[in-house]
């Protein structure tokens, strides 16, 4: 396995771990074990709003996990990946840039301190993976 593929494996696995952690955090909120005001910048007004938000967020995160796994498999088996997949990873990176800005503007310090680094790392790695994955 090339150095490029090994670095890709590490980044993909880290992203998946971060996103699973985030999904688990959101599931704990759905279960009522963590206050819902720690998400969406502290701007949600009810538990029902939080449920709607969380179901969508968890679904999106699971989709991201599956897409990055497809990307990983492509790099490991072929040493490169298709342009459309790189474009999707790049768009996910842009999504995380916007999410980082949202986390920085959050009303709750927990969201700012805990999730800003996660979204910043996610943005950086996604954009980096998308731009360097044309050929190993």
pLDDT digits (tens, 9 = 90+) for 18-45: 999 999 999 999 999 999 988 888 888 8
Residue 76: is its pLDDT beyond 80?
A: no
H helices of the chain, where? 3-30, 47-78, 83-104, 109-110, 116-132
Residue 125 to residue 128: CA distance in whole angstroms: 5
Range from 3-12, 24-33, 100-109, 115-124 carrying the lowest mean pLDDT:
3-12
Q: How many CA atoms lie within 13 A of 75 on its CB side?
A: 27
Residue 39 dihedral angles phi and psi, to the nearest 5°: -125, 170
The per-residue pLDDT for 1 is 62
In order of 56, 77, 82, 84, 125, the CA distances from 99 in angstroms are 14, 32, 26, 23, 14
Flag whether the pTM goes above 0.95.
no
What is the Cα 39 distance to its own chain's centre?
A: 15
The per-residue pLDDT for 136 is 46
Pick from 68, 63, 60: nearest CA to 14: 68
Burial class for 2, CB neighbours closer than 10 Å (0-12, 13-18, 19+): exposed
């Amino acid at each position: 396995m090339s150095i490029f593929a090994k670095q890709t494996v590490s980044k993909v696995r880290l992203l998946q771990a971060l996103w699973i952690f985030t999904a688990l955090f959101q599931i704990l909120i759905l279960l009522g074990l963590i206050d819902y005001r720690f998400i969406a910048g502290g701007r949600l007004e009810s538990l029902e709003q939080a449920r709607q938000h969380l179901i969508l967020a968890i679904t999106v995160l699971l989709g991201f996990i599956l897409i990055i796994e497809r990307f990983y498999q492509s790099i490991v088996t072929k040493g490169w990946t298709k342009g459309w997949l790189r474009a999707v990873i790049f768009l996910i990176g842009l999504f995380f840039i916007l999410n980082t800005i949202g986390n920085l503007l959050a009303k709750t310090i927990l969201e700012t301190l805990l999730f800003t680094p996660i979204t910043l790392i996610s943005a950086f790695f996604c954009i980096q993976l998308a731009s360097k994955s044309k050929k190993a």
